[in-house]
Amino acid sequence: MQDDRELVSEHQEEIISRENSEGGQAESSNRRKFLTRVGWGGVVGFLAINSAAFLRFFYPRVLFEPASQFKVGLPADYPLGTVNSQYQREYRTWIIRLQDGAFFALESKCTHLGCTPNWMEAQKKFKCPCHGSGYYITGLNFEGPAPRPMDRFKISIAEDGQMLVDKTIRYPGVPGKESNEVYPESLLRV
């Protein structure tokens, strides 16, 4: 009886030992597979990054900006005493026609910290939403922290009769001065 029990016990130990050994081999094989995958992942990632850098080398480093000269239509399209915001988004410029018929192109940029003011038709003024600066229709500042009038750009008549704005020619606002007087050449009379 005693011998039988010893025999069974030895047999059980052998089975357990075999199972442990097989389990260890499987675990080792899994670890190897995992490490192989990680290794290949690293190689593929490295090649992908290098390929992207290589291709980027051929892509031109150009900054696409709107043209500095652009046409804004015929003078007759603009009623007297109006601010046209049609070119504000793309060119950051308002086309303004004063009551006496003169045109000028005003940069849509507050001279405090550069926000874009809004034209308030009811109050006939530009109002900056950032810190409350206010400007008359001529661009002259009269309230808030803005230190000077907004800048103007050159506006002229092109060969086809349309008005042409040239942002390369700028008339910077002078503190406390009306740009109509400082820069009479910024006005277009047709």
Positions touching ligand FES (CB under 6 A) are 110, 112-115, 128, 130-133, 144-146
Beta carbon of residue 147, minimum distance to ligand FES (angstroms, whole number) = 10
Beta carbon of residue 123, minimum distance to ligand FES (angstroms, whole number) = 16
Beta carbon of residue 106, minimum distance to ligand FES (angstroms, whole number) = 14
102/130 with CB nearer ligand FES: 130
Beta carbon of residue 113, minimum distance to ligand FES (angstroms, whole number) = 4
Torsion of CA 98, 100, 104, 110, to 10 degrees: -30
How far is the C-alpha of 88 from the C-alpha of 98, rounded, in Å? Answer: 18
CA-angle at 33, arms to 30 and 36, nearest 5°: 150
How far is the C-alpha of 98 from the C-alpha of 135, rounded, in Å? Answer: 15
Question: Where do the DSSP E strands lie in the chain?
Answer: 69-71, 82-84, 93-97, 103-107, 118-120, 125-127, 134-135, 141-143, 152-157, 163-171
83/157 with CB nearer ligand FES: 83
**Could you tell me if 115 and 88 are in contact, meaning their C-beta atoms sit under 8 angstroms apart?**
no
49/113 with CB nearer ligand FES: 113
24/147 with CB nearer ligand FES: 147
